[in-house]
Amino acid sequence: MEPDDIRRVLVVGAGTMGQQIALQCAIHGLDVTLHDVDERALAAARSALDATIARVRAKEPVLAEHLAAGAARLACTADAAEAAADSDLVSESVPEDPELKGRVFAELDRLCPGRTLFTTNTSSLVPSMFAAATGRPDRFAALHFHQPVWSATVVDVMPHPGTSEATMEVLVRFAQRIGQTPIRLAKESPGYVFNAMYNALNREAITLAANGVASVEEVDKAWTTVTKMPLGPFGMLDVVGLDTVFYITDYWAKVTGDPQLTTNAAWLKAFVDAGRLGMKSGRGFYDYSAAHGE
Ligand SMILES: NC(=O)c1ccc[n+]([C@@H]2O[C@H](COP(=O)([O-])OP(=O)(O)OC[C@H]3O[C@@H](n4cnc5c(N)ncnc54)[C@H](O)[C@@H]3O)[C@@H](O)[C@H]2O)c1
């Protein structure tokens, strides 16, 4: 398959990442279907995209027009079968649970043609964990985006040991075609390139707060004052989504048995249990209720 043969993209999971990836593909002229099992998630994705476009419009009206045109062309469905049957590429963004991702890929393998390339947007897992479930390991790799997808334009293209060279070539060129900067990894490694560095920062920030050494606000103040960045680690984690941050921390706490990661996961869980999921729920470490229209 050549990159230009990719015309129809199926994005699975309409949460924080799926909605942005779908929009990025749509604004680059692809036919995109955004699929989620939850009708409410599809409706929420529409509202979230509208709200994002309104925010962008205040500062970058031309970009906002571009995004709005893409959003208008997005198809959304809770029934994947029809979209899957004619898809050239699948981008998966369901929650960070290896068992769930395996089930989703096995179902997609049943629904999609043999030619369809499968990609995962997993943050901290690795594609070899679900390569067998895809039924097409040679046509499967990680294609990992950063958010906001239209401005943090780095995409890790990471093979597992069974990914073919041809698949890597097509995915690298596909990433360029949708306005991204591909970072090609030579082999599988958890956390890819940017996130491997960024996760180390997050782990230390969460450890400082979870151990009661310094508050969320003090940690962020230290970071933003020295680096002159607009957000500190906790402000950035609110953008990621605290449920996602919890899943990742909890998963690695269980895999490694590291007691500090276990403490950090328990500390994060209190926020998740209280419905404080970050920007997407209106409150995380910080309060976004004004921006949420509450
Ligand atoms: N949030 C980030 O900044 C970020 C960045 C890069 C990669 N990722 C990765 O992207 C993936 C998704 O993360 P997110 O933050 O978008 O999660 P999210 O919780 O915001 O969205 C996940 C969506 O998947 C849907 N879903 C659950 N089961 C499904 C199924 N069987 N079929 C279809 N849809 C299903 C849910 O209804 C939900 O809408 C994770 O693997 C995460 O690690 C996240």
Residue nearest to atom 35 of ligand 1 (CA): 13
Percent residues over pLDDT 70 in the chain:
99
- Give yes or no: residues 41 and 151 share one domain: yes
Q: How confident is the model at residue 294 (pLDDT cuts 50, 70, 90)?
A: low
Give the rounded percent of residues in the chain with a pLDDT score beyond 90: 87
Residue 293 pLDDT: 56
Ligand 1, atom nearest to 147 Cα: 3
pTM over 0.95: no
pLDDT tens, residue by residue, 78-125? 998 988 999 999 999 999 999 999 999 999 999 999 999 999 999 989
What pLDDT was estimated at residue 197? 94
Whether 264 is covered by a domain: the verdict is: yes
In sequence order, the 6+-apart residues with CB closer than 8 A to the CB of 2 are 170
The pLDDT of residue 290 is 80
- Give the residue from 138, 165, 184 where a domain finishes: 184
- Nearest residue CA, atom 3 of ligand 1? 240
Ligand 1 is surrounded, with C-beta below 6 A, by 12-18, 35-38, 41, 93-96, 104, 121-123, 145, 147, 240-241, 243-244
Distance CA 3, CA 30 (A): 12
At 162-213, the pLDDT tens digits run 999 999 999 999 999 999 999 999 999 999 999 999 999 999 999 999 999 9
Please check whether residue 62 lies inside any domain of the structure: yes
Domain membership of residue 29 (yes or no) is yes
Q: For position 251, which CATH number holds?
A: 1.10.1040.10
Instruction: With respect to residue 267, please indicate whether it lies within any of the assigned structural domains.
Output: yes
Dist. CA 34–CA 21, nearest whole Å: 9
Return the SS3 of 142.
Answer: strand
Mean pLDDT of the chain: 95
For residue 242, give the nearest of 211, 212, 193, 276 by alpha carbon.
276
Structural domain span for residue 249: 194-281
Instruction: Say whether both 31 and 81 belong to one domain.
Output: yes
141 within a domain of the structure (yes/no): yes
